[in-house]
Structure 1
């Protein structure tokens, strides 16, 4: 009996020692470089934003912040890598809207709800429903009427199956009852080229990649996907203003930690991200890409991600969306 008591006390002491050590380590966080995993290719929208924010994070934390690209499978390869990482706060996921869409479309090697801790939404950016400059559609209402008159005659582009560009169009179909054909591309650049040329009728293009084409007259903007008009396009109505009630879709990026990260580390990383996004230099650089800095709390971001996952799961089910 005494032996068991001694063993129990030893186990408790060891556990308390580990807890104290973890707490001490968390209190000094960060005391070495942080690796931010971007699960998309270098040079893309998420990667560009992450590199800008990483500069600000390095300034506010006093530690270098290294970007590591692990692209593939709509971000799920990089996300799986972070899910398996040591939850000490030094391996961080910087993901996008696909994080909330993937669970409804793909069999994933991780649980998006249980294997990650949302830390902070970094940025948001609306999509612009664009058409060719010479398109017969002068507004979203024109497109909806035409699509109702001729079901499955008109086409919409996306930068890949399961992308937010596709999901925005699928939500539009769900809310209006129209039928149109999805034309997926391997990236936004080729999609924009074909929309410009009239090979595809419309495209919910990321504002960061399409705004210059709109203002330069190479694309026609029919509507903006967010609940508010873009300051850069004050004369372009929102989808909701065009008659599709409560339509509000934005692309977003945010920071996640592996499940098990100490609360102190989550709070500290949240603070580092928020301070980085508050820097005038960071905000200016992001603004030039058409991105709006957010810097939400971990609690608010967790609620937002949960709402996004529920929303897109409903759209996937209602429209019977599948990806190969």
Structure 2
């Protein structure tokens, strides 16, 4: 009996030693992997088709980020369901820093309209904000109002008469416009389209009255006189349209909506990898060519820490969720 007890104690001691050794080996291996990261190509998933604004920003950043990190950054397009399919794929990948997701402002809107298989605010690791810019509030060129104040006056006099076009139900452009409806106390009729292009086409043709459009898609139409700009949605005026006031300057100091893009990863990415990616991305954003390209699209580089970007994401999710609830918005 004594012999058996001693043998068991010796076995237990050896097992404990092996476990401790194994733990230290795994910890050392993990630390080495984080220190040497990246050792293979990185995948950047985009939830929209090639050629769009999100895709262009992703490819621009990927091309610059690869040389900084010493590994290729490969853009992979997975369009569908407003970017939700790509987000699910990315956020359910291993949290090792080799799968990233290009999140757009719409990422924070989607929880208000879709039953998602993930928690947008908690099932992710914020990495870096890339760029942000305004939406241009533009009206058809024949519209009788020439300022935002004049537009609101007409809309208040005839509730439900005037319409706004968007790229679809549950889009960030719908939320930006609904937010202005609530702020200004007006009631515009929502006309959703399947994409930005048809929404802009019908606004130019006068089939809808107003649109909150991205700078890249709307500025050329304003510059050629096919649409007239009434305001921009950020606190600062757009350099390409210096005479067009902000919504704040137009009498609505509480109104601000920003169109932005950033990079997130699955929940649990080690802090060392988060910081390395954030530092590399912020370095890329300081590149003169990058700055020039972003400026041409009405965007500015926006360097934030992972913690600051995470706060932005969660605050925007809460903001749009409250708006959808207060206005009874849903996808029909």
* Deviation of 1:291 (Å): 1.9
Quick check: 1:191 aligned with 2:199? yes
Give ranges in structure 2 of 5+ residues lacking alignment. Answer: 1-7
* Deviation of 1:295 (Å): 2.4
Match of 1:315 in 2: 323
Taking the TM superposition and a 5 Å limit, the aligned residue runs for 1:131-146 are 131-146=139-154
Quick check: 1:113 aligned with 2:121? yes
Match of 1:216 in 2: 224
* Deviation of 1:4 (Å): 5.1
Quick check: 1:300 aligned with 2:308? yes
Match of 2:239 in 1: 231
Give ranges in structure 1 of 5+ residues lacking alignment. Answer: none
Given candidates 61, 68, 90, the residue that maps to 1:60 is 68
* Deviation of 1:290 (Å): 2.0
Quick check: 1:16 aligned with 2:31? no
Contact 2:278 2:305 in 1 (8 A): yes
**1:263 to 1:149, Cα distance in 2 relative to 1, 3 A:** same
Taking the TM superposition and a 5 Å limit, the aligned residue runs for 1:174-189 are 174-189=182-197
Given candidates 41, 47, 51, the residue that maps to 2:59 is 51
RMSD of equivalent CA atoms? 1.4
* Deviation of 1:6 (Å): 4.8
* Deviation of 1:13 (Å): 3.5
**2: CA distance between counterparts of 1:16 and 1:144?**
67
**1:16 to 1:174, Cα distance in 2 relative to 1, 3 A:** farther
**1:25 to 1:153, Cα distance in 2 relative to 1, 3 A:** same
SS in 2 for 1:145: helix
**1: CA distance between counterparts of 2:214 and 2:13?**
63
Taking the TM superposition and a 5 Å limit, the aligned residue runs for 1:29-48 are 29-48=37-56
* Deviation of 1:160 (Å): 1.3
**2: CA distance between counterparts of 1:210 and 1:94?**
22
Contact 1:125 1:208 in 2 (8 A): no
How many pairs align?
324
Instruction: Find the structure with the greater CA-based Rg.
Output: 2
**1:19 to 1:128, Cα distance in 2 relative to 1, 3 A:** same
**2: CA distance between counterparts of 1:289 and 1:108?**
31
* Deviation of 1:9 (Å): 4.7
TM-score normalised by length of structure 1: 0.96
Given candidates 265, 272, 277, the residue that maps to 2:273 is 265
* Deviation of 1:8 (Å): 4.7
Match of 2:4 in 1: none
| Superimposed CA distance per residue, residues 31-83 of structure 1 (whole angstroms, 9 cap, x where no aligned partner) | 21111001111111110111111111012112111100011111110000011
Taking the TM superposition and a 5 Å limit, the aligned residue runs for 1:23-172 are 23-172=31-180
Contact 1:59 1:276 in 2 (8 A): no
* Deviation of 1:248 (Å): 0.8
